[in-house]
Amino acid sequence: MSGDGALAQERVAVGQSIPEICIAITLQRLVMEAGANRDFSLIHHDRQIAVSTGASDAFANTFFLMGMFERSVREWLGPRAMIRKIGPLRMMNFNTVGDTLYFRGEVTGVQQGSQETLLDLLLWCDSERGRTTTCEVRVQCD
């Protein structure tokens, strides 16, 4: 199903699951991510500062989570899908060093137009500590 947006959207129906992806959160990954997304807030790479805010360790930032939700959608729907909206993205718990994050989702709406199809998706991120993040995404397909 992944890799071909046209093929994917023909088959899409409300309630359909979005394939799971996962990623391990290490301090090295958070440092790589900070360099890549330019958010150098200390809570995302400095354990001592992160702990002072109530987290158990340095934790992933909003940009990383948005990017992972974008990866979920892109891997599933392929290159022709146009991501129109990401969010609301709500953070309910920390995603910290030592967590393995599982990104999953489902289709919540399909609007078939004459030229294009709009898909509404609800995605979420789970870890050993439960659901940490939810995110809605709107995608336009040919």
Partner 1 sequence: MSDLSWGLWGSWEETQACLGEVVGQWQGPDPVERGSIRRWLESKEFGAAAIHVDQQAAREAGYSDLVAPVSMVFSYGIKSYWSPGDPPQSLADEPTQIQIPVIFNVPAPCNKSFATMIEAEFFAPLYPGDSVNCTSRLVDIKRKTLKVGDGAFLRQQDTYVKQTGETVAVAHLDIFRFYAVAGEYADVR
What is the per-residue binding string for partner 1 in 2-21, x denoting contact by CB under 8 A? xx------------------
| 75 within 8 A of 2, measured Cβ to Cβ | yes
Q: Does 100 bind partner 1 (CB under 8 A)?
A: no
Q: Does 91 bind partner 1 (CB under 8 A)?
A: yes
Angle at 105 between CA 100 and CA 111, to 5 degrees: 160
Q: Which residue has the tokens 């899409």?
A: 12
User: From CA 56, how far away is CA 69, in angstroms rounded?
Assistant: 24
Among 75, 104, 118, 122, binds partner 1 (CB under 8 A): 75
Closest CB 124 distance from partner 1, rounded Å:
14
Cβ closest to partner 1, residue 14 vs residue 92: 92
User: From CA 107, how far away is CA 43, in angstroms rounded?
Assistant: 33
Q: Pick the piece of the chain touching partner 1 (CB under 8 A) from 8-16, 28-36, 106-114, 117-125.
A: 28-36
Closest CB 121 distance from partner 1, rounded Å:
14
Strands 130-141 and 117-127: antiparallel
User: From CA 15, how far away is CA 132, in angstroms rounded?
Assistant: 21
Residues that bind partner 1 (CB under 8 A): 2-3, 23, 29, 32-33, 35-42, 48-49, 51-55, 62-64, 66-68, 70-71, 74-75, 78-80, 83-94, 136
